[in-house]
Structure 1
Amino acid sequence: MNILILGYGKMGKIISQVAEERGHQIVAKINIENVADLDHLDTSKIDVAIEFSQPGSAVGNITWCMQHGVPVVVGTTGWMDDKDGVTNLCKQKDGSLFYTSNFSIGVNIFFKVNAFLSKLMNDQEAYKATLEEIHHTEKKDAPSGTAITLAEGLIKNNQRYSSWELQNDNTQQKEGTLPITSKRIDPAPGTHIVSYKSEIDDITINHTAHNRKGFALGAVLVAEWLPGKKGVLSMDDFLDF
């Protein structure tokens, strides 16, 4: 396959390495310094794009892919305020857009465990839910996209919570609101912790990523799968949970 890399930071470099190890060709590596090179690419020779840039660049990169008929796999988080517009553009262009907040197979299993536990805790009013995420200091968005996905899964399956809120030292927890704590620490693996706490005991589930290779491999596997498919797709489609 011929793959276009949009965003050539730490993740983009690992994705390129994994893709080449799997026998794919990288047609271009685009970042903020050479974004003008997009205008000179032969899109007929691009099978798929993998987008891991920054929140401020993601929508522009996705739009370019939709306008040029390039299927795109998106791992950048922090642009969800524009999700409806991007979804509509994908439909208008009959495009192929795959988005997930996390490409790790383990994390996506964790999403399902989180949803199941949330259902079990629905009637257990003695327990209060909290969510904590820890990342390195270079991560720009807070809470992380993975934390938001976990929060949405918990809220969907537990009628005692209707929204989430990012906490700081002065925030008072509101009834019906799931508090999220974000920490930025170096060095730190990506860690997500969901807890249900009561006066008697705590129930906690957590996922810790040891390195980025699992995310990169997941993105490349999805890129191999995506061409020929249409619409806005997610890990539920890819993993067929």
Structure 2
Amino acid sequence: MPKIALLGYGKMGKTIEQLALDAGDEIVLRLNADNATALTARNLQQADVAIDFSHPQTGFKHVEACLKAGVPVVSGTTGWLDRFEEAKTHCLQQKGAFFYASNFSIGVNLFFALNQKLAELMNDWPAYQPSMTEIHHTQKLDAPSGTAITLSEDIAARLKRVEGWHEGTDAAEGQIPIQAIREEEVKGTHEIRYASAVDTITIRHEAHSREGFAKGALQAAHWLIGRKGVFGMSDMLGL
């Protein structure tokens, strides 16, 4: 069974750890703010794969360190995607393996596919204007969520009258307004609305626990071992 490095040992890291141990995997590194100096090539190379759920400020650093050490890395950390293309370039240069998803829930990725199809249909119905609300726990540092950004970018890529997104309700024409709400103990809710003068169409995903995200991340880690390249959930799930 694979040896795993956990980069980030908060609630998500501990949930992944429990699932991994139940599956017979071995955890060889648990990295958090208290032992950040343990992020060395030697320590990383003990692992067959690394899983990063850390902090927006450390996400790129962790991915880069794994790629330099020749260790496949699965990243679920959001808020650092301004450097995502740089990470992809590093991966290809190092001939490494990098798996990124803004959300590892199987249900959310089915929701992504539904969102894409609905956006395509809406090209024929200009009376409907899209908007979005995302709700997460108060410990989530980035807003909007990475999942909300993925959903909005998927809409913009398919709906001709949409060019981008804007956090808040004062979006300009052609932008999707995203309302980001932070509440205690909310695991993650995303709602997309298409409103017209006469009705509203809504699709919604609500997570009930962290286990769905953790299962997907662990599945991705197992899947990534032995592969080379840059991957996402659509590659693993065949969506």
TM-score normalised by the chain length of structure 2: 0.97
1:197 to 195, 198, 219: 195
The residue correspondences of 1:154-169 to structure 2 (distance < 5 A) are: 154-167=155-168
**Which whole-Å deviations, capped at 9, do the CAs of 1:159-178 have from their partners, x for residues lacking one?**
010111111xxx53311111
Alignment-mate amino acid for residue 172 of structure 2: K
Contact (CA 8 Å) 2:41, 2:69: kept in 1 or not? Answer: no
> What secondary structure, in the 3-state scheme, does the structure 1 residue paired with 2:132 have?
strand
User: What displacement does 1:123 show?
Assistant: 2.1
Q: Counterpart of 2:183?
A: 185
Q: Does 1:8 align with 2:9?
A: yes
Q: Does 1:176 align with 2:174?
A: yes
User: What displacement does 1:33 show?
Assistant: 1.1
User: What displacement does 1:40 show?
Assistant: 7.3
- Deviation larger for 182-191 or 150-159: 182-191
**Which whole-Å deviations, capped at 9, do the CAs of 1:200-236 have from their partners, x for residues lacking one?**
0000000000000000011111111101111110011
The residue correspondences of 1:40-119 to structure 2 (distance < 5 A) are: 41-119=42-120
Find the aligned partners of 1:31 and 1:236 in 2 and give their Cα distance.
Answer: 29
Find the aligned partners of 1:40 and 1:111 in 2 and give their Cα distance.
Answer: 35
Find the aligned partners of 2:222 and 2:63 in 1 and give their Cα distance.
Answer: 18
Alignment-mate amino acid for residue 142 of structure 1: A
Q: Counterpart of 1:208?
A: 206
Where structure 1 has 5 or more consecutive residues not aligned to the other structure, the ranges are none
Where structure 2 has 5 or more consecutive residues not aligned to the other structure, the ranges are none
Q: Counterpart of 1:151?
A: 152
Alignment-mate amino acid for residue 119 of structure 1: E
Q: Does 1:139 align with 2:137?
A: no
Contact (CA 8 Å) 2:188, 2:206: kept in 1 or not? Answer: yes
TM-score normalised by the chain length of structure 1: 0.96
Find the aligned partners of 1:138 and 1:159 in 2 and give their Cα distance.
Answer: 35
Find the aligned partners of 2:151 and 2:41 in 1 and give their Cα distance.
Answer: 40
Contact (CA 8 Å) 2:190, 2:206: kept in 1 or not? Answer: yes
Find the aligned partners of 1:67 and 1:189 in 2 and give their Cα distance.
Answer: 33
What number of residue pairs does the alignment pair up? 238
2:233 to 232, 235, 239: 235
User: What displacement does 1:127 show?
Assistant: 1.0
Alignment-mate amino acid for residue 132 of structure 2: L
Find the aligned partners of 2:187 and 2:22 in 1 and give their Cα distance.
Answer: 24
Find the aligned partners of 2:17 and 2:164 in 1 and give their Cα distance.
Answer: 37
Q: Percent identity?
A: 47
